[in-house]
Amino acid sequence: MPNTPIMTVANLHKTYGKAGSKQYEALKGIDFTVNEGEFVGIMGASGSGKTTLLNMLATLDQPTSGEVTIHQQPITHLKGNQLADFRAKEIGFIFQDFNLLETMTAYENIALPLTLQNVAMKQIKPAVENVASQLGIAEFLTNYPNELSGGQKQRVAAARALINQPAMLFGDEPTGALDSSSARELLDLFSKINREQAVSILLVTHDPFSASYCQRILFIKDGRIGQELKRGDLPRKDFYQQILDTLGTFEQ
Ligand SMILES: Nc1ncnc2c1ncn2[C@@H]1O[C@H](COP(=O)(O)OP(=O)(O)O)[C@@H](O)[C@H]1O
Ligand SMILES: [Mg+2]
């Protein structure tokens, strides 16, 4: 459904360091909503708070105050089994450096979220084969990570993130370690998956080319959202230029 929120972020604050010691306020009140099926980008200079924000949204860290709701579930105070279940069902995460387990094959890496939930082998196999074929890595399933290129590794990581059919896919600079043609391939796959499977995507990047694949971009500076850009019907190349122009004025 269009314009149905899948994630809401309300007055999110994050201060690093304990009271009484040296503290740093990395997020100073962040508010925004992501709708079902949206592909949203977060841009900002190094140190602006992008990774901090993404880690709060993806339940990898807890905010100092504020609330995040995903699929009607408030997530900031989830703990233990509830947190593990929520992550397994609703969230996929892709990192810049792939985070694949080197001692496991591509197949075993992709299957891991299901293996950890004790899903039956006979259900795992078709699920892995299905997501691997969507991401164009079906022929590499028996390879170990060190036998794959960067682009192939990131597609294995994407398959692992998507195998649970999460509501939200988060990426922290997922193209940061890729050459430009592998980056383009991955971004095209994100767009396809976003369109065809209604997975909502939140991509953190400082790269204008990656950001040009998004439908909407939030610009963050010193822990606050300072500007928003919507692509609308603009061709990607024109949106790319608009992003460059915005960065030119925003980062001053
Ligand atoms: N664990 C931490 N402890 C203290 N300060 C941190 C920690 N993580 C990040 N910071 C600080 O918070 C700010 C935002 O960092 P980060 O979210 O990593 O920015 P970005 O991803 O946009 O480069 C930076 O000034 C950084 O030094
Ligand atoms: Mg970062």
* Structure tokens that stand for 124 in this block: 């795992």
Q: Is the pLDDT of residue 143 over 90?
A: yes
Question: What length does the chain have?
Answer: 252
- Which listed ligand is nearest to 49 at the C-alpha? 1
Q: What is the pLDDT of residues 196-236, one digit of tens each?
A: 987 999 999 999 999 999 999 999 999 999 999 999 999 99
The verdict on domain 36-61+82-250 having CATH code 3.40.50.970 is: no
Read off the pTM: 0.94
Q: Is the pLDDT of residue 187 over 90?
A: yes
Interacting residues of 98 by C-beta distance below 8 A, sequence separation 6+: 145, 150, 153, 154, 156, 157, 177
* 44 pocket-lining for ligand 1 (C-beta < 6 Å): yes
Average of per-residue pLDDT across 118-133: 96
Decide which of 19 and 113 is more confident. 113
Mean pLDDT of the chain, nearest integer: 95
Which of 24, 205, 225 most suits a substitution to test ligand 1, by most atoms within 8 Å of the C-beta? 24
CA of residue 139 to ligand 2 center, whole Å = 32
Report the pLDDT averaged over residues 37-42: 97
